């Protein structure tokens, strides 16, 4: 697969700068855990602890977290701040003016990010999953961070303590007079509090929560849709037989 991808990139003659800038950077498939209550609860905890300080989810209320198996006491004690009420929307308290000064733009609302970032390369969940796993140290940037999926990203790595610090390594390949850089792997700089596999597991849980938050009724919709299709299939057979019975004496 890697050889096929390498040949495709070389055929297109993509420059190293374009690939390093995230143009066509392959997205990893996000795990599907929107039916896993434990994963969703862990994802909600990660979202509140690491994302909500800067990013709002203003179309989601705390009490909707009952749908992922939490009661009001658990939500109030573990997922709300002191000034929040159980019926409030999940809004960040960051000052928009300061946020724009620090990051260049106001941090976007994340309620629908798992749907809005979908593209021909993959789903929005794939995008976020890959984004949170391709941060790297870059001392030339004001924040000290950069990202392979979103080059020159204004947001520093929110999960750097968990993941640690690292730098990407590239293989240089010459093609059609151009030098192509293909991402090879990672060079560790500082170890995080989680192993690589544990970090990927937690990012998967966080992305699952973002998927659920973007459309909380999706699983119910799919479940009901299956029953509707079964009903229509049975009804189609019944209607076909009734039609045959009504018109059997008419030539």
Same domain, residue pair 250 and 139: no
CA separation for the pair 181, 186 (Å, rounded): 14
> What is the domain range of residue 185?
2-216
Same domain, residue pair 182 and 72: yes
Please give the pLDDT value at position 251: 61
> Domain with 24 in it: what CATH number?
1.10.760.10
Please give the pLDDT value at position 4: 35
Same domain, residue pair 107 and 146: yes
CA separation for the pair 136, 51 (Å, rounded): 18
Same domain, residue pair 201 and 231: no
Take residue 30 and report the two structure tokens written for it.
């996000």
Same domain, residue pair 204 and 227: no
Same domain, residue pair 122 and 185: yes
Same domain, residue pair 123 and 245: no
Same domain, residue pair 170 and 235: no
Same domain, residue pair 178 and 234: no
Contact 106, 100 (CB under 8 A): yes
pLDDT values of the chain reduced to their tens digit, one per residue, 251 residues: 333 333 333 333 333 333 333 446 899 999 999 999 999 999 999 999 999 999 999 999 999 999 999 999 999 999 998 788 999 999 998 888 888 888 888 899 999 999 999 999 999 999 999 999 999 999 999 899 999 999 999 999 999 999 999 999 988 887 777 887 788 899 999 999 999 999 999 999 999 999 999 999 988 898 999 999 999 999 999 999 999 888 887 76
Same domain, residue pair 209 and 118: yes
Please give the pLDDT value at position 138: 94
Number of structural domains found in the chain:
2
Same domain, residue pair 126 and 212: yes
Same domain, residue pair 109 and 45: yes
């Amino acid at each position: 697969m890697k050889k096929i991808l390498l040949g495709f990139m070389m055929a297109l003659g993509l420059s190293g700068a374009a690939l390093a800038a995230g143009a066509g950077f392959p997205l990893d498939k996000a795990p599907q855990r929107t039916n896993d209550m434990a994963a969703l609860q862990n994802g909600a905890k990660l979202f509140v602890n690491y994302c909500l300080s800067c990013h709002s989810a203003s179309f989601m209320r705390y009490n909707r977290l009952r749908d992922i198996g939490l009661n009001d006491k658990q939500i109030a004690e573990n997922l709300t701040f002191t000034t929040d009420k159980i019926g409030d929307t999940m809004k960040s308290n960051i000052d928009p003016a300061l946020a724009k000064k620090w990051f260049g733009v106001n941090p976007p609302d994340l309620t629908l990010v798992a749907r809005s970032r979908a593209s021909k390369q993959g789903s929005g969940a794939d995008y976020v999953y890959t984004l949170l796993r391709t941060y790297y140290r870059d001392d030339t940037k004001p924040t000290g961070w950069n990202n392979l999926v979103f080059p020159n990203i204004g947001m520093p790595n929110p999960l750097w303590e968990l993941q640690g610090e690292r730098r990407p390594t590239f293989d240089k390949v010459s093609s059609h007079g151009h030098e192509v850089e293909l991402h090879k792997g990672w060079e560790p700089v500082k170890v995080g509090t989680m192993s690589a596999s544990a970090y990927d597991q937690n990012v998967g849980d966080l992305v699952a929560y973002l998927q659920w938050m973007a459309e909380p009724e999706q699983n119910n919709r799919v479940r009901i849709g299956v029953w509707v299709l079964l009903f229509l299939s049975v009804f189609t057979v019944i209607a076909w037989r009734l039609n045959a019975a009504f018109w059997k004496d008419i030539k």
